[in-house]
Each structure stands twice: as C-alpha cells, then as structure tokens.
Amino acid sequence: MSIYAISDLHLALSMDKPMDIFGERWENYMEKLRIMWEQTVTSDDYVIVPGDISWATYLEQAVEDFKFIDSLPGKKIISKGNHDYWWTTMSKLEGFIYRNNFSTISFMHNNSFRIENVTLCGTRGWNSPGDNGFTADDNKIYNRELQRLELSLKSSIEKGGDIIIAALHYPPFNSKGEPTEFVNIMGRYGVKICVYGHLHGESIKSAFNGEMDGIEYRLVSADFLDFKPLLLNTMI
C-alpha cells in the first residue's frame, strides 16, 4: 500500500474551461493525468487530492469529473480548494457519492483518516498575513481555517497512528516565504509531512519544497508534478 498526493486537477469534462491558456503543460492535461495516474497508482493505494478538483459551479455539474476520478486506481481523499464552488455540506457531498455509486472517493472536512500507521488531516487554508492586499475579511477566513486545521488534527490524534500527514490547498507560507500560523499548529501536533497546492506558473518558483523544523513540505500542484501523483512513502 502506498500513499500519493496530487492537487489542482481542474477537471472540466462538463465545462468549457480550456486550461492551455495557462501554459503548454496544460495541453491535453486530463488525458495526461489519466495516463500518469494509471501508470503510478494501484487499486490498493491512497491518493490525497487537496483541492481545486473541478471547475463545476454546482455539485450536479461535477458528475462527469467525479466519474473520471472514481474510475482511476486507488482510494481518493479529497479536500476543498478555492475554485471548488461545487463544495457543499458533508451530508450533501456524501449523498452525492452514494447516489452516483462512487466507491473510491471520500471527503475531508473537519475530520481525518487513518491509513495503517498514518493519519491524514487537513483543510483548505487561505491567503495569509503578509500577503499583498490581505484584508480584514481575509483575516476572518484565515482564522476560521486555522480552527478547521486544529479540529482535523485533534481528530487525527484520537485515531492514533505514528505519522501525521497534513494536506492544505493554500501553502502554509505567505507570498514572502514566511511561515504562517498553520506551520505553528502543525508543529505543535507533530505533523511529519505537509502537502499543498494552489501555486502555478511563475509562483511555483518561490514554492518551498524540503524540510523545516521537522516537517517535510511538498508542493503537489498537478502541473508542477507533470500530472504524476507524488509518492509520500519515501518521506515517512
């Protein structure tokens, strides 16, 4: 059993949303993702997908995108990104999965998952203090996301496990590369690995990948990974 991570799939099987306007890497990206995923992941593996899953605005518009995800090998644990406008309550998300018989998909929101000796937690995150244009409204959302991360971490501690992986959509550093309160919270709970997405194009160049104060950070945006899920077992 292996654990992988990849974010920012930006699926658009029911939407007219060409992604190649964001660069050559995005040309025919859904087929590239399918091929790389099938060559990498087996049915016994887990794949963490921290946000920006589908361009759909409403959940029912996302059926084809989730059908695509469900058809891929492995069990997928999905959390919210800033472009996941279809995201709704957990009861509605679970009902959507049940009605459509998507048997390989679970959602992470204020909860956690135990995978053998690993527990997985996480939240979306948000813009951080120190970012350009950070507003009072941003600060409210930022603080709410901190609370959600802590709820998820508390849930992971209750489940036990030797290793904690935290999955965020936004990076836990501001645009100046400074650690945010997300880093402090993860440090208090003994997080071993933090995966995050959201960054594309030029912003990838400033992304932090590596170890800092006992936590291993990895950017897992699909275009950064060239659409191949990243194996996390080697870091555990």
pLDDT band at residue 24 using 50, 70 and 90 as cut-offs: confident
39/18: higher pLDDT:
39
Q: What is the pLDDT of residues 154-200, one digit of tens each?
A: 999 999 999 999 999 999 999 999 999 999 999 999 999 999 999 99
pLDDT at 227 over 70: yes
Say if CB 128 and CB 142 are below 8 A apart. yes
pLDDT value at position 21?
A: 67
pLDDT band at residue 18 using 50, 70 and 90 as cut-offs: confident
Burial profile 90-109: b = 16 or more Cβ within 10 angstroms, e = fewer: eeebeebbeeeebebbebbb
What average pLDDT does the segment 138-160 reach? 96
Q: What is the pLDDT of residues 37-61, one digit of tens each?
A: 999 999 999 999 999 999 999 999 9
pLDDT value at position 218?
A: 98
What average pLDDT does the segment 25-32 reach? 92
What average pLDDT does the segment 73-79 reach? 98
Measure the CA–CA gap between 3 and 120, rounded to whole angstroms: 10
**Pairing status of strand 118-123 against strand 113-115:** antiparallel
User: Which domains does the chain carry?
Assistant: 3-235 (3.60.21.10)
pTM: 0.96
